[in-house]
Structure 1
Amino acid sequence: MVGQASNLRQDDHNHAQEMAAMAIIEHDLPCSFFEFEGWRQVQQYVNPDSGPITTKAVMSFIGKFYVSQKENLKQIMSKSPSRICLTFDHWTAIDTEQYVCLTAHFVDENWKLNSKILSFHKMVPPYSEFELAKRVHKCLKAWGIDKKLFSITLDSASMNDNMKDALKERLILHNSLICNGDLFHIRCCADILNTIVQESLELISTALQKIRESIRYVKKSKVRKIDFKHCVEQVGGIDTSMDLRLDDYTGWRSTYAMMEIGIRYRHAFFGLALNDSNYKCCPSNEEWKRVVEICNLLEPFEAIANWMSRTSPPTLNMYFMKMSKIELLLEENVMNVDPMIQDMARRMKEKFGKYWGDYSVIFALGTIFDPRLKFELTKYCYSLLDPETCHEKVETIKNKFYFVYSQYKDFGSSSSCHDIEFKSSLGVSMSMLTVLNQPTVSARNEESFTEVSGDNNDFKGRDGASVGKSELDYYLEEAILDPHSFQELDVLDYWKTNRIRFPHLSRMACDILSIRFTTVANESVFSIGSRFLEKYRSTFLSPKDQVLICLRNWLYGFKHNEEEIDDDINIISDDEEDWMMHLPNQGD
């Protein structure tokens, strides 16, 4: 009996150590947390007979757990019906240490989009592009996905250009890329948008500094806060739901938030300037006017940046409309009555045009895979920008779409991960096809569609093996789904449901919709615990911390600070709803 009791106590103690390890992973606790004297006192008070939880024992469990979870993730990726899309980013800390993060984005066997960190570690010399490509390729081989890649998303760092070329050559050598790698490199959308926005902020740098000083002046003492509150009350009609805030100099989005809130209180600042002779930094009427114009110009930039930085960003199908909205707004401001705004918009448009010219087709491919949009959204967006070139641009996209589809047909069963999934595409009864053709609405899907008029759609099944027409022909001929009925359609679930009717096309949809147009998700690695990397990335990461970062991501995904996330935000704004209302039904 004594022996049994001893074994029970040992089992309980082992379980407690495992629980401690899981708490460290989930909550970013120091690995030595359970050896802290304060914790030991609590532990002894609750259970005097409990043995101590040691750092060595906890780290031993974490190490074994890391190995098992890594093997589990490898199995999940091997069973994925999609190719793997990568994002890669690197940083240089204040102490000159460099870190790299490689993340895989893929659709799992349940047809849900995943983002998992494959590697997060400190770089070691040499830092050449060739060596970096070699290490990335070695990492991909270790994960067993070197022949299953689709794209890699990089920022504009000069090292990345040569690195992706060297990596691409290695992959092409094994003939493992679709379209011979034409779709392999994706430049980070957030990176180019940030560059464009900085152009506009330079125009109002003086006004911005005055706004900062004004907010700092008010917040500096309780007496000034009271005086400013009186000014707000005297003006009346000011939305006070948000308090004044300063930007943190770490990104333009905090500056945008400062401007947006400051504009609300601009008349109160005028009142303060009249009542307080010590307040000398109030922006002029002309400066406020220009700040308002810049804020309006940056609104779609803020919307898409907020959208991309969410814990679970939407799939690629709605990016085209967001980016087209930016292009249209820049086009309008090229004709602004203010010469300075006009000149700034022209420069912004030029930079945006270079990026959009390279990647608009890929954005459009994602849109076509949304059965509520297909080609109708691209036609509408292009017609708004330039009706004369609309047809030519749409034809270019259509030709590209058919070409990429032909590559998937040629690849056929070359990707073994798809063989079982799609072998049964022939010989299926028409009644089964009719059932499979019904779209599925997912309550988890965060996309919200506006109500638009249109005829009900016929979901009659078709035989994809009919002579003379391809899967793609049949898909495009079917009427677009009525957004009235499918506001929360899970696009990936639609392709899962229709994978037997459209075996090649659904595989292509998996890959295209998995593309990440931003490396923003990698940024959240630096938000999962200040003990890993502090706000300005100056803390050294040990291999132990790097293991914890990977485990945290594998178990809980990317988690941002609470104030940075708004999971209820709609991806369709009010003016975008107006756009959607003008889309014709393909069956009309």
Structure 2
Amino acid sequence: MAEEKTQTDLNNNSQAVFPYPGKTSSNVWNHFGFHKLNIEGPATRDNLDMAKVVCKLCGKGYANKGNTTNLQAHLDATHRQSIGMKKNLGMQKQPTISFQRQIPKLSTEKRDKTDDSLLKLLVGKALPLSLTENHFFKEFVQELNPGYTVPGKKAVMRALEKKNEEMHNRVLTDLKNAQGVSLTHDGWTSMNTESFDTVTAHLISEDWELKSMVLQTKKIEGQHTGENISKNLLETTSAWGITKVTSITTDNAANEQKAVKLLDWNRFGCYGHRINLVVKKSLNIPEVSSLLKKGRRLVTFFHQSSSVNDLLMIKQKDPSHCRNQNDIGHKLIMDCVTRWNSTLSMLERLIEQMPYITAVANDISISKSAGVTIKSNLFTFEEQTLAEKLVQILEPFLKATQILCAQNNPTMHKVITTKMKIMKFISIADSDDDIIRDVKRKMIDEMNARTETEDFALLGAVLNPDTKGLQFLCQEEKDHAMEILKEQVKNVNLSGKIKIEKIEINEGENTLPQLPSLPSENVIIENDSNKSIVESPAKKMKIMCSDAKWLEDVIIIGESQNTDDDIIENKIQRYLDSQRQNTDTTLTLLEWWKCNEYLYPRLAKVARNILAVPASSVPSERVFSLAGNIVNKKRSRLNADNIDKLIFLNMNMKMYW
């Protein structure tokens, strides 16, 4: 601010100086003010010469440009002694003592860990990234950790890009090291009527760990024809470097079957969909259809009338009607035609709530038309009995679906045993009435209908040491299972060496600790094209030296005279004749194969491929519910690439984050 001193300033020294009109933040204005324009008027902003600032002590004037730096300098240079000031005292406040805790700065390691937890929260709960810029969220974080600053949306996007790349590389490494990869595929439509395809991969690692991952969620352009689906599947496998597809599990839609046929891949038809079709067809009986229609009309009426539904809640709490405290608060359930499990849920809830529904129908407070509607759809005694019997028949199918749709454990080895368990429940009994007989007969016919994809299920049962004998199947099925197993073993190429850990044993010990029990007779272990003898039990396990290789043709002369088919059959028979040791009873299926891989190396390779095949396409269908949370009304403008990344990060978080 340029300093100005004029004759007018000198003449106005005796004129009164008025304080700054309004609130000020600087103590400088205690010593400066303004002259009036009209001496007789009030000291307001409109009547003060706001263009010129005047020192109250000496009358010196300065142009007022909104800056107090030169005013403070004037006080320091001219009036410091007269007013007892120290330098810059005018802008200082009285020193205070603060008892507030000093907020420590976060270390780089702690900040990175907190950032990573924030990313997990956003991705794991499918929250919008803009949450990090929300005032209330920032305030909440500050309460938790005042030293942490929430990153902005752009920073979060960059961090997710980096995390996506890291996870992509981890998945790529597992796929590259896999002996074989199984896939599942299904399609879904977003709320924006955009079609997407989801592909998941499943493999068993060298350490016999089942790994499942979502590979890609890709937007489909055009119709869902078999040609378009096969093209997208091929692009996905090529992008991930998958050269060997053991099998792909899909539903039984015609376009899915055609797509797999065009690719010349092995296909397993989703057993969950098959169960759905079995139940759906078996319930297509006039008496059962009439019962279900009445149930749906009741549910619809209670859903549409809030007053009637409220009365139902009251009747549930009424001691004169309440049969079970667990019934309180239960609303009626509407079934979905494409999901038979919902039909079971609807029938179970109607049976449970029928006494309360009857009480509502007889209540005088409801309208006459409402009472007539409810009474006309109430179950008769015969219909109530039929509904209870249907529930008993359908419950095993629900249990079977839960078993075969598991994702964290192998399921292919359970298909045949689950099927046989269902057949036991739906066997026709002498006490069954005609309607139940018709339902069961249709179920049995549908369950016995053989499909070309059941070979995987037979292989899975044989490769389970608990069911390898297939005692529950007829001889024809057993022979067929042995034929396809021989074909699989014949195609095995033992590349690499079988890893056998060398364990030193003290001379006084007679057993090998932490090692599976070996057969009493000598066992031939395959290593590429060579074979070596391992004595069991033994004091030490040794890798065969060159002398043993020189004698190999003599050691195994009995087997070398056999044909390849005989050798394979002998290996399979040895596996079938082996007894599961007592120590094996606590092992899971994959743990058993991990312990016995060196005994049956060819069969182990077949098991690693077959047991990785999912029995249902549920892994890809699970993406649908997540996608519904990501692509919602508030995030409807997400592009396809971001949808793919968010689904990829979320679904693979537990294993690869």
Superposition deviation, residue 374 in structure 1: 1.2
The amino acid that maps onto 2:488 is V
Paired residues for 1:509-548 under 5 Å:
509-528=607-626, 530-533=628-631, 542-548=640-646
The amino acid that maps onto 1:22 is K
Q: Secondary structure at the match of 1:87?
A: strand
Contact (CA 8 Å) 1:101, 1:121: kept in 2 or not? yes
How many residue pairs are counted as aligned between the two chains?
495
Superposition deviation, residue 227 in structure 1: 2.7
Contact (CA 8 Å) 1:317, 1:370: kept in 2 or not? yes
Query: Do the aligned partners of residues 33 and 271 (structure 1) sit closer, same or farther apart at CA in structure 2, a change above 3 Å counting?
Result: closer
| TM-score (norm. length: structure 1) | 0.73
Superposition deviation, residue 366 in structure 1: 1.0
Query: Do the aligned partners of residues 433 and 324 (structure 1) sit closer, same or farther apart at CA in structure 2, a change above 3 Å counting?
Result: farther
Task: Confirm or deny that 1:185 pairs with 2:267.
Answer: yes
Contact (CA 8 Å) 1:86, 1:152: kept in 2 or not? yes
Q: Secondary structure at the match of 2:417?
A: helix
Query: Do the aligned partners of residues 121 and 197 (structure 1) sit closer, same or farther apart at CA in structure 2, a change above 3 Å counting?
Result: same
Contact (CA 8 Å) 1:188, 1:519: kept in 2 or not? yes
Contact (CA 8 Å) 1:34, 1:40: kept in 2 or not? yes
Query: Do the aligned partners of residues 425 and 487 (structure 1) sit closer, same or farther apart at CA in structure 2, a change above 3 Å counting?
Result: closer
Query: Do the aligned partners of residues 474 and 12 (structure 1) sit closer, same or farther apart at CA in structure 2, a change above 3 Å counting?
Result: closer
Comparing 95-104 with 135-144, greater Cα deviation is found at: 135-144
Find the partner of 2:194 among 86, 90, 97: 97
Superposition deviation, residue 149 in structure 1: 1.9
Question: By percentage of residues, which structure has more helix?
Answer: 1
Superposition deviation, residue 140 in structure 1: 1.3
Distance 1:274 1:517 in 2: 49
RMSD of the alignment, in Å? 3.9
Superposition deviation, residue 202 in structure 1: 4.0
In the other structure, the counterpart of 1:224 is 312
Q: Secondary structure at the match of 2:235?
A: helix
Superposition deviation, residue 110 in structure 1: 2.4
Contact (CA 8 Å) 2:412, 2:456: kept in 1 or not? no
Task: Confirm or deny that 1:29 pairs with 2:127.
Answer: yes
Query: Do the aligned partners of residues 294 and 153 (structure 1) sit closer, same or farther apart at CA in structure 2, a change above 3 Å counting?
Result: same
Contact (CA 8 Å) 1:84, 1:145: kept in 2 or not? yes
Query: Do the aligned partners of residues 424 and 481 (structure 1) sit closer, same or farther apart at CA in structure 2, a change above 3 Å counting?
Result: closer
In the other structure, the counterpart of 1:473 is 573
The amino acid that maps onto 1:352 is M
Query: Do the aligned partners of residues 217 and 308 (structure 1) sit closer, same or farther apart at CA in structure 2, a change above 3 Å counting?
Result: same
Contact (CA 8 Å) 1:35, 1:55: kept in 2 or not? yes
Q: List gaps (5 residues or longer) in structure 2.
A: 1-102, 526-530, 532-555, 560-566
| TM-score (norm. length: structure 2) | 0.66
In the other structure, the counterpart of 2:471 is 379
Contact (CA 8 Å) 1:113, 1:514: kept in 2 or not? yes
Contact (CA 8 Å) 2:313, 2:328: kept in 1 or not? no
The amino acid that maps onto 2:468 is K
Superposition deviation, residue 256 in structure 1: 0.9
Superposition deviation, residue 405 in structure 1: 1.6
In the other structure, the counterpart of 2:457 is 363
Paired residues for 1:51-62 under 5 Å:
51=149, 53-62=151-160
Distance 1:304 1:138 in 2: 34
Q: Secondary structure at the match of 1:120?
A: strand
Find the partner of 1:438 among 505, 516, 534: 516
In the other structure, the counterpart of 2:524 is 463
Contact (CA 8 Å) 2:461, 2:468: kept in 1 or not? yes
Distance 1:312 1:232 in 2: 47
Superposition deviation, residue 154 in structure 1: 1.0
In the other structure, the counterpart of 1:351 is 446
Aligned-pair identity (%): 22
Task: Confirm or deny that 1:63 pairs with 2:161.
Answer: yes
Distance 2:586 2:182 in 1: 25
In the other structure, the counterpart of 2:279 is 197
Paired residues for 1:171-570 under 5 Å:
184-203=266-285, 204-214=288-298, 217=302, 220-230=308-318, 233=321, 240=327, 243-247=330-334, 249=336, 251-266=339-354, 269=357, 278=371, 279-280=374-375, 281-332=377-428, 338-354=433-449, 356-375=450-469, 378-380=470-472, 382=473, 390-408=474-492, 411-413=493-495, 419-420=496-497, 422=498, 438=516, 462-464=523-525, 465=531, 467-468=558-559, 470-480=570-580, 488-528=586-626, 530-533=628-631, 542-556=640-654
Comparing 87-96 with 62-71, greater Cα deviation is found at: 87-96
The amino acid that maps onto 1:199 is K
Q: Secondary structure at the match of 2:158?
A: helix
Superposition deviation, residue 66 in structure 1: 0.8
Q: List gaps (5 residues or longer) in structure 1.
A: 169-180, 383-389, 414-418, 440-456, 559-588
Q: Secondary structure at the match of 2:334?
A: coil
Comparing 364-373 with 500-509, greater Cα deviation is found at: 364-373
Distance 1:154 1:538 in 2: 28
Distance 1:545 1:20 in 2: 19
Superposition deviation, residue 15 in structure 1: 5.9
Comparing 513-522 with 198-207, greater Cα deviation is found at: 198-207
Distance 1:327 1:54 in 2: 58
Distance 1:237 1:48 in 2: 51
The amino acid that maps onto 1:102 is V
Distance 2:201 2:276 in 1: 24
Query: Do the aligned partners of residues 493 and 185 (structure 1) sit closer, same or farther apart at CA in structure 2, a change above 3 Å counting?
Result: same
Query: Do the aligned partners of residues 521 and 22 (structure 1) sit closer, same or farther apart at CA in structure 2, a change above 3 Å counting?
Result: same
Distance 2:632 2:585 in 1: 41
